[in-house]
Amino acid sequence: MSAVSGCPHVTSFKSEFGTDPFRIIHRHFISCSSPISKKRKARSLFCHTCRQHAPRLHSCLYCVYFGCYGSKHIQEHSKSKRHNLAIDLTYGVILCFSCRDYVYDEEVDEIARREHQRANHSLGIMTLFTPWEPTKKEIQLLKENPKRRKVTGNSTIGLRGLINLGNTCFMNCIVQALTHTPLLRDYFLADRHICQMENDPQQCLVCEMARLFQEFYSGISTPHTPYRLLHLVWTHARHLAGYEQQDAHEFLIATLDVLHQHCKGSSGLSSRTSPHCNCIIDQIFTGGLQSDVTCQRCHNISTTIDPFWDISLDLGPPKSELGCNSDKFEELTSLTNCLKRFTRPEHLGSLAKIKCSKCLSYQESTKQLTMKKLPLVTCFHLKRFEHSTGYHKKISTFVSFPEDLDMTPFMSSSHGHDLANGEPVIRESASSLSSENKYSLYSVVNHRGTADSGHYTCFIRQHKDHWFRCEDNLITKASIQDVLHSEGYLLFYHKQILEYE
């Protein structure tokens, strides 16, 4: 029996050249099961046109040519050489330019499976995942429930209100944002979680989140009561226990921390094979913040990189300091300008001298923060609350934020230093990376009221261009204008192009 293929051009290619081109590319540039292959891949994986080590590289199947997809160099090569097949060097899938789509071929898929397995064995990883096979009980349930739910563009599956259990609007908003995080939703609905608390699974917050996702996407529209989630958060984050109003940002960080602790190691990678946690929370939410401290005497640069789950941004000076009619005020109070201030070099002054590792004396210095690694989901926390002894204040300044955000100007790769004087400079070549650093807005948490009392609501994106306002048990239709004109406290963005490591 011939292998199943979704593309006649792949079938024609195999009849003329066989499957060796697929196998060679997989073994030496995708799976890389030997140390020699890994070194070759590290040296060779760049676009032959722009010479950039950009993501989404494709290899032509007819000749020795690597081209990046984002800058359309592989497309231009295909058109000029009439080579209509290429292979994605990250995932190993075939791109057919004649069919204008990625295509499936059973024989090539089997080659990819064997090569990946070979590479996993060389790393000491026996199984990264196990295919789902229904149990007898699940087969019986499927027979008893033959009706299937079809998700369409107008579908309301996933939209469900949450009962307020007494000043728990802060929790309800974070739950709505998390349950509408696309990658987190895909993870839980695929039943990927393996409980690490075998002795007491009822205490596992990740198991409860999995149940919560099942509740949200079951098709039931009546409001859900998240009492078990609240109890678990109280149990594992004691500082949030009680019925008084809590801060939504603090609840988000506490929830991510407990989820991170409870799902460590469930990805299938042991701590011996990976120095970093590879749990789903870190894969989605963790980024790297680079701090460069420059000595003002010898211009030596000391660099540290710290992980982050969110970016907290100051809102800038009050409007009264800039003048009521100042156009500069509107310019300053945008998310982009908050990020510019966040990544701007800061002079630490004479009271904060540090000991330079090069000139071995305490010197004044400048400090600059940039993004070394962007997470798949970025949460921006607008610092609207000021707390000091006997003083609490909320900053209600309107901060404009875009539906689509390009983080390229704030990347470490976009910044450099003039070796002569240590001054920061912007590298023009960084513009080629912009397409890989673009984000789309999918949730906004808002606060209405004062620093001492108030109410949280949120906007979530259900499908593309379909926005809804969530206020505890009430879900109402909203427009993108409603979202962009809201005050904004927590802004959730996810990457437009996903590259998995």
**Residue labelled with tokens 């305490």:** 362
43 or 18: which carries more pLDDT confidence?
18
C-beta neighbour count of 481 within 10 angstroms? 9
Q: Is the pLDDT of residue 50 over 70?
A: yes
Per-residue pLDDT averaged across 264-290, rounded? 67
Q: Using CB atoms within 10 A of its CB, is residue 298 exposed (0-12), middle (13-18) or buried (19+)?
A: middle
Per-residue pLDDT averaged across 114-126, rounded? 73
32 catalytic, yes or no?
A: no
350 or 114: which carries more pLDDT confidence?
114
% residues pLDDT > 70 (the chain)? 84
What does the pLDDT look like over 457-498, one tens digit per residue?
999 998 878 999 999 999 999 999 999 999 999 999 999 876
Q: Are 370 and 410 in contact (CB under 8 A)?
A: yes
Query: Residue 239, SS3?
Result: helix
Query: Residue 422, SS3?
Result: coil
Q: Are 27 and 102 in contact (CB under 8 A)?
A: no
User: In this structure, what token pair is assigned to residue 75?
Assistant: 């497309």
379 catalytic, yes or no?
A: no
Specify the pLDDT at position 330.
45
Q: Are 402 and 335 in contact (CB under 8 A)?
A: yes
Per-residue DSSP letters for 423-451? -EEE-GGGGGGGGGGEEEEEEEEEEEE-S
Mean per-residue pLDDT of the chain: 82
Which ranges in 180-309 belong to alpha helices (H)? 182-189, 205-216, 227-236, 248-262, 280-285
C-beta neighbour count of 217 within 10 angstroms? 18
Specify the pLDDT at position 2.
52
Q: pLDDT-derived band of residue 123, with 50, 70 and 90 as boundaries?
A: low
Q: pLDDT-derived band of residue 129, with 50, 70 and 90 as boundaries?
A: low
Active-site pick, 9, 116, 417, 455: 455
**Residue labelled with tokens 């409860």:** 208
Per-residue pLDDT averaged across 93-112, rounded? 89
What does the pLDDT look like over 407-463, one tens digit per residue?
988 988 776 544 334 444 444 333 444 467 899 999 999 999 887 788 999 999 988
Per mean pLDDT, which range of 7-11, 35-39, 432-436, 440-444 is the poorest? Answer: 432-436
User: In this structure, what token pair is assigned to residue 395?
Assistant: 């900053």
Please measure the distance between the N-terminal and C-terminal CA atoms of the chain and give it in whole angstroms: 36
What is the DSSP code (8-state) at residue 123? T
Specify the pLDDT at position 267.
43
Active-site pick, 47, 60, 68, 169: 169
User: Which of 318-351 are b and which e, b meaning 16 or more Cβ less than 10 Å from the residue's Cβ?
Assistant: ebeebeeeeeebeebbbbebbbeebbeeeebeee
Specify the pLDDT at position 488.
92
Per-residue pLDDT averaged across 76-93, rounded? 91
Helix-strand-coil percent breakdown of the chain, rounded to 5?
35, 25, 40
Most confident of 246-260, 303-317, 351-365: 246-260
What does the pLDDT look like over 316-374, one tens digit per residue?
765 544 555 545 444 458 899 999 999 888 888 777 777 777 787 777 788 889 999 89
Q: What dihedral angle (degrees, nearest 10) is formed by the CA atoms of 22, 24, 28, 33?
A: 90
